[in-house]
Structure 1
């Protein structure tokens, strides 16, 4: 196996790990390899989709306060939070709802079976090695939820050793560390914040309390890997345990992910991976006498056949079993389960200057009749630096357990076990220009239509398949480096509407701009400026005004792998709201001391 590809697989551990299927001449370096878009390794500049890759070095250079802040700066993404750290959040990708984005950790699906989305608030950046974001439908490879796209998070390999300590505004304090050997490594972290009041008087009676809403996070990770004959095996585990205060209570949230993957080459043309995964969530809010959770076990087998130098065939199967419950001290609201069995195939080929991808998947689900999805993409290399591409894809989202089975309150807001999956069709055209190794531009235009959207409708606000959505948009992504200077920027325009009423979908701004510039001095000290601007966004009762905010960051290398970092958020103390009645942080600062053993 090509050594670069193998190292990438080890760092991703229980990810797709079929990195050995890429040809050696494709593996220019780890940074260029993307595994999420095709379920096999493809150089980033050859993927026929809009892709963003965030490496560990990018995470550290950004000094982002948390994962949500980092993701919100990427093209096509919008974030809504109900206050500060740990609070309820919604991440919109290409205008879709939160559960229209499939989230993977090391190749394992982690969207909540109860709520449909993934809570990014409790996954610390210290535990992340790499993030791949694929915008556009990927249901033909990954199944349910991949309507707006896929966010694939690879956990960190702590074997080289690291220590991170930080302190800052709102009572922030935290310590993270990792260490290990060539085959066994462990990482752990703790962080706490006093926080600020999540709400303001506009939240209304019963929701507003001017106290501080704090947050505490404890996390632990384990990674074991080695060889079994000609095959490779890896195990990873991650636990996050968080306490979230809100104005009228507190929630304890525990998330667990465990995965084992076996992968390798059967012969020169056939490689495979077998991944066994398990994840669970447990949320307990005693003040509301509310306790709910879900679990999912999965088994994936992916086979990649290199037919010749220009054609690759993927064949795979997936089994999943999900359970979910909701209970109080006096009764069980629901305790349900379902199974899903899927098979898929994809073909990627080159003909001269043209590239194509075809994929199809069939999901059979014990709760609904099933879904068949397809995807097709085509690309043309106009010259060595310019590519045009076009794609078409289908998607679907299975109803979550709350939508299916929640009993509601006094006959209101009840689930519906007869719900159908939401379904979508998307088209995209794009142009990718790689002017030099240090300058690239990508432009994408997309169109998505979603039907059978689930909504809680009058008169009893029960769950029904009644809505349709029409989403049109454009994205610009830019990267430039010259000497010690680096500039990254993206712009997003979107028109997301209810196709039945022609009213805009709530809380999505139709225009967004993100810029990030940095300069590195001869002693490796660095200064950076991040800027974000958003147009107004519709909310219940009216539009929330647009805003711009600026953040400053700097780093100073000390000695023997130690670096001192500092960041000022919201430099001009701009007041803005992402959701009516909920506060955002004012000017704040953080200082971080970091040691890397690499």
Structure 2
């Protein structure tokens, strides 16, 4: 695959930056750099749960936090794989290797039923729903906040399962440089470099800039039970990314800033055999018409190339209007663009669809302090657009259409009130979203918490959420259904939490019911659909218990979690696809002087993918995927000040397991590297 810039070039460029930083290019003081949102990782400041900085032990929503230290130990791990090691999260993989599409389930909710923010900017795709996890560069992330449960009353559409917010590095203090590079199994290399800091003086300027590149020659993803008669094929990928932030406090309490993330991913996935499709795009197991292969003799299989481009950009102003009133004004843009090509196919000309999605969001948030309480008022406008086209005369299946374009607007108002009275905490929130074609959608949430002691607290929460149909759900030729209604959810949960400097434990029980679940069906289908369409055919009920905790014992840190859930489609009485009833994680880490070593394990019960008919044997398959346990080992050692070597061994026991039926996951793989990070 073509490489945009080499790892050696990347490192060389930033060696010069390191020298520049050491020679005080910027005016500096002796203050320390803080690239995390919390001075105390054991009780971090959580921003996402209330749209305002809140100490973790005052957060009433169920949450998890991934700090910089855990991200530094990630090595060759993808963002989705890192999230899988957290309480309450399951993942699925795409049909290609590490750069292929992934899905993340928060407490059983689907990938499209959760929101992902990158530095406060929504990054989900209006076409398919949900984020493109594989396009988000893990090496450039500072920390991650995960909020479980419906958050539509704070963030609007699609926050049924929760919200994940990703924070990139933010500079403070003298200029610092970080450079890292490593190499491992499957020809995988990961390199990144960052510079961040701030100037002195009253009109302080904060800045950060980071670049990264990840590439891999990949591995064979086609399993022996693949139902599509695909042959073994290695698929690789290359991802280039850049992040940047720049802000100035031009007067005390008055800050203006800009921030951006841009990523380009070029990955391969197994293509279908030349005999798999007829000229109008319909699937056929075999055909005797040239150039399609006859039964049992499909044509040549070619790798499919997928290009995904993700961009998030924003400009904002934070203003202390009075002693009690803070204003936050932001204009943001995000886009998800993609292109798929398979040059050597029976199609003439080649198959090469292109999709472009864009959303602009304008937000004005006002935080008003009323004694120790906080009143929050928000107004927001969101515009979404999509253009999808099939090039070179190819048309969408079952139609004569070569393209479709659509757009919609959402106007929103929201308010929340947070109070604390002694041992009592309470939050109340409400939001109204008026979406083109649907009218007003109102959601709300109420939460109450009580401190039995300073360390032990309990909470009870109730919230509603909704998910607007995606553009594919509504308009995709041959499948879309403009008659769809939004999915709607009601969630109730109880929590018990214990936090000290050495111990933490969390027990949460929840019950989330989702009505109007959108799935493939035949309800109210338009005439343009031949065999069915997107339909509101199901009700899902996801109930469960999530338990997690950790402790520090001398030089050892122990963490663990287990989730027991019942994610049921009430219409069919079947477990939702790719969800396990039981899953969890456990890890132990040892720290001594300059050495950090740890081992972690992830386990999951049986899951079931979509069933069908095997293209080779003609036999039916049920999509059952067995349970698994995988173990990972990591270690790092600071060989001298600011210079660290590190290594990671994923899937130590070479466990063969599947996250999507018929497709392999990585086997045992090792990665090692070196990092220079100024402290």
* TM, length-normalised to structure 1: 0.92
* CA deviation map 1:285-305 (0-9, x unaligned): 122321112000101111111
**Alignment deviations for residues 149-188 of structure 1 (CA, whole Å, 9 cap, x no partner):** 1000011237521101010000112321112552333211
1:553 matched to which residue of 2? 634
Match of 2:100 among 76, 87, 94: 87
Partner of 1:421: 486
C-alpha distance in structure 2 between counterparts of 1:481 and 1:307, whole Å: 39
What is the CA–CA distance in structure 2 between the aligned matches of 1:141 and 1:184, rounded to whole Å? 29
Task: Please report the RMSD computed on the Cα atoms of aligned residues, expressed in angstroms.
Answer: 2.0
After superposition, the Cα gap between the structure-2 partners of 1:296 and 1:445, relative to the gap in structure 1 and judged at 3 Å, is same
Distance verdict in 2 for CA 1:342–1:30, change over 3 Å? farther
1:543, 1:246 → 2: CA distance? 22
Equivalent residue for 1:359?
429
Q: Distance in 2 between matches of 1:99 and 1:592?
A: 35
Quote the offset at 1:264 in angstroms. 2.8
Contact 2:222 2:233 in 1 (8 A): no
What is the aligned partner in structure 2 of residue 178 from structure 1?
A: 194
The 5-angstrom pairing of residues 381-400 of structure 1 reads 381-400=451-470
Q: 1:247 aligns with which of 224, 249, 270?
A: 270
Higher strand share: 1
Query: Contact 2:445–2:461 at 8 Å: present in 1 too?
Result: yes
Q: Please state how far the C-alpha of 1:314 moved relative to its aligned partner.
A: 0.5
Residue deviations 1:380-416 (CA, integer Å, cap 9, x gap): 11112111100000000011111111112xxxxx201
Tell me how far apart the structure 2 counterparts of residues 198 and 282 of structure 1 sit (CA, whole Å). Answer: 25
Match of 1:411 in 2: none
CA distance in 2, matches of 1:348, 1:27: 23
After the TM superposition, which residues 302-321 of structure 1 pair with which residues of structure 2 at under 5 Å, given as runs? 302-309=365-372, 311-321=373-383
Counterpart for residue 339 of structure 2: 284
User: What's the CA shift for 1:241?
Assistant: 0.6
Contact 1:139/1:147 (<8 A) preserved: yes
Distance between the aligned counterparts of 2:489 and 2:177, measured in 1?
Answer: 44
Which residue of structure 2 lines up, in the alignment, with residue 78 of structure 1? Answer: 90
Instruction: State whether residues 506 and 547 of structure 2, in contact with CA within 8 Å, keep that contact through their aligned partners in structure 1.
Output: yes
Q: Secondary structure at the match of 1:203?
A: coil
Runs of 4+ in 1 over 3 A off after TM superposition: 7-12, 26-31, 61-64
Are the equivalent residues in 1 in contact too, given 2:76–2:671 (CA < 8 A)?
A: no
* Higher-Rg member (1/2): 2
Against the structure 1 CA distance between its residues 383 and 8, is the aligned structure 2 distance closer, same or farther, given a 3 Å change threshold? farther
Stretches of structure 1 lacking an aligned partner (at least 5 in a row): 1-6, 13-18, 20-25, 409-413
Residue 250 of structure 2 is matched in structure 1 by 228
Instruction: Tell me the alpha carbon deviations over residues 321-364 of structure 1, each in whole angstroms, 9 at most, x when there is no partner.
Output: 11011101136421111111101000011233111110000001
Aligned to 1:457: 521
Measure, in 2, the Cα distance between the counterparts of 1:563 and 1:264. 40
Q: How does 1:37-436 map to 2 (within 5 A)?
A: 37-63=49-75, 65-82=77-94, 83-157=96-170, 160-180=176-196, 182=198, 183-205=206-228, 208-230=230-252, 231-248=254-271, 249-287=304-342, 288-309=351-372, 311-329=373-391, 330=393, 332-408=402-478, 414-434=479-499, 436=500
- Give the 3 Å change call, closer, same or farther, for CA 240–444 of structure 1 in structure 2: same
Partner secondary structure for residue 574 of structure 2: coil
- Distance in 2 (CA, whole Å) between partners of 1:299 and 1:407 is 31
Aligned residues between the structures: 571
Match of 1:36 in 2: 48
- Alignment equivalent of 1:584, drawn from 665, 671, 676: 665
Q: Distance in 1 between matches of 2:608 and 2:61?
A: 29
Residues in 1 aligned to 2:132 and 2:143: alpha-carbon distance in whole angstroms: 18
TM-score (normalised: structure 2): 0.81
Distance 1:425 1:510 in 2: 21
In structure 2, relative to structure 1, the CA distance for the partners of 1:450 and 1:339 (3 Å cut) is same
Is the Cα contact below 8 Å between 2:97 and 2:269 reproduced in 1? no
1:548 shift after superposition = 0.8
User: What is the distance in 2 between the residues matched to 1:74 and 1:503?
Assistant: 26
For the Cα contact (< 8 Å) 1:10–1:234, is it kept in 2?
no
* Alpha-carbon distance between aligned partners in 2 of 1:255 and 1:218, rounded to the nearest angstrom: 11
Q: 1:198, CA displacement in angstroms?
A: 1.9
- Whether the 8 Å contact between 2:103 and 2:133 is mirrored in structure 1 is no
Contact 1:64–1:70 (8 Å) recurs in 2:
no
Residue 30 of structure 1: how far off its partner (Å): 9.7
Distance in 1 separating the partners of 2:170 and 2:420: 35
SS at match of 1:347: strand
Does the CA-based 8 Å contact 2:334-2:359 persist in structure 1? yes
In the other structure, the counterpart of 1:519 is 590
Decide which moves more: 51-60 or 180-189.
180-189
- Displacement after TM superposition at 1:78 (Å): 0.5
Correspondence for 2:512: 448
Structure 1 position 503, deviation (Å): 1.1
- Structure 2 CA distance for aligned equivalents of residues 181 and 355 of structure 1: 36
The Cα shift of 1:204 comes to 2.9
- Secondary structure of 1:202's match? coil
**Structure 2 unpaired stretches of 5+:** 1-30, 199-205, 272-303, 343-350, 394-400, 523-529, 612-621
Query: 1: distance between equivalents of 2:157 and 2:163?
Result: 11
Aligned residues of 1:260 and 1:275 also touching (Cα < 8 A): yes
Q: How far apart, CA to CA, are the structure 2 residues paired with 1:65 and 1:205?
A: 28
Q: CA deviation at 1:367?
A: 2.7
